[in-house]
Copies of this chain bind each other. A is one copy, B any other.
Amino acid sequence: MTTSEAAAQSLSIGEVAERTGLSVHALRFYEREGLLVGPVQRTSGGRRRYTPVDVEWLLICVKLRESGMPLADLKHFAELVRQGPGNEAERLHLLDTHRQRVDAQIQALEECRSVITWKVAVYSEHLARGAADGLWAPTT
């Protein structure tokens, strides 16, 4: 890839915000916090230029955050990647641990869902019978 091709593919912070769903504030915050793998390139004027690899990494960050990974873990993962090859086992462990947490979360949510669904059914049934049943007094 030539320099001009790289420049053509690179994106401004605003464009990256659009593509990732993160705010420009959050993007700068993530960078300060060391959550990115490399330092973001700058134009001669000092503006950030994100490469497609940067964006790919950010999209993964978004997925990990969305699923509840704390910023600290994300930072740790970024550090491992920065260190380069040799620590793949640790990266794997980090991801797999998180996957287990996500599984637990899904299960917990499904339990909540069934409790809520049951309550919704109770109210629906009551309303379907109409106000005629004036004595019904839901405790909750």
Binding site for B on A (CB under 8 A): 37, 53, 56-57, 60, 63-64, 66-67, 81, 84-85, 88-89, 91-92, 95-96, 98-99, 102-103, 105-106, 108-113, 115-117, 119-120, 123-124, 126-127, 134, 136-140
Set B96, B124, B139: member contacting A120, Cβ < 8 A: B96
Quickly give the copy total for this chain.
2
- Which residues of chain B have C-beta atoms less than 8 A from A91's C-beta? 123, 138
B109, A109: Cβ atoms under 8 Å? yes
Assembly CA distance A37 to B140 (angstroms): 8
Contact residues of A: prevailing secondary structure: helix
* Cross-chain pairs A/B with CB under 8 angstroms, 15 sampled: A57-B140, A64-B116, A66-B108, A67-B108, A81-B140, A85-B136, A88-B123, A88-B138, A92-B127, A95-B116, A99-B116, A99-B117, A102-B116, A103-B113, A106-B109
